[in-house]
Copies of this chain bind each other. A is one copy, B any other.
Amino acid sequence: MKLTTRGRYAVTAMLDLAINAGNRPVSLADISVRQEISLSYLEQLFAKLRRGQLVTSARGPGGGYRLARCGTEIFVAQIIDAVDESVDVTNCQGKGNCYHGETCLTHHLWEDLSGQIHEFLSQISLGDLMDRQRRKVTQGGAETVLQTLSIR
């Protein structure tokens, strides 16, 4: 699990898609204008999102993208996974013999840590983000969000 600006772009674009969903699909050109992300870059991102089965596409005039399922069933972790292909975390290539013949620190440590973060982001759906956006929570910050999550 990596957290980069690319992941941010993808989550933002997906949230835009969720918010502006209606009868018609949403074109990348629209998202590009609203979110100020270059069209070609969006094309790359959505190619991956489509391969990850998070969106469906429709070609031709009036075409565009739709969420592949309800926003409450699409999670931030899935979006980031689709767009940031996984890194090889180990420098022992999974042999586990790098620390005096034993398994090294790095291997388990970061694997687990990124596992935890993954777990964490797997609990936040586009639906959750839309709710918060709608409510415009300005007071509280992280704490309130953590509350919200533990209530779910």
Contact = CB atoms under 8 A, between A and B. Distances in A.
Contact of A4 (B2, B108, B149): B2
A36 B100 CA distance: 12
Assign chain A's interface to a size class: 35 or more
B109 A133 contact: yes
Contacts of A36: 91, 98
A28 interface: no
Contact of A34 (B76, B99, B146): B99
Interface in A26-65: 34-36
Contact of A2 (B3, B34, B87, B114): B3
B113 A76 contact: yes
Nearest to A141: B115
A1 B136 CA distance: 21
Nearest to A34: B99
Contacts of A132: 112
A128 to B, nearest CB: 10
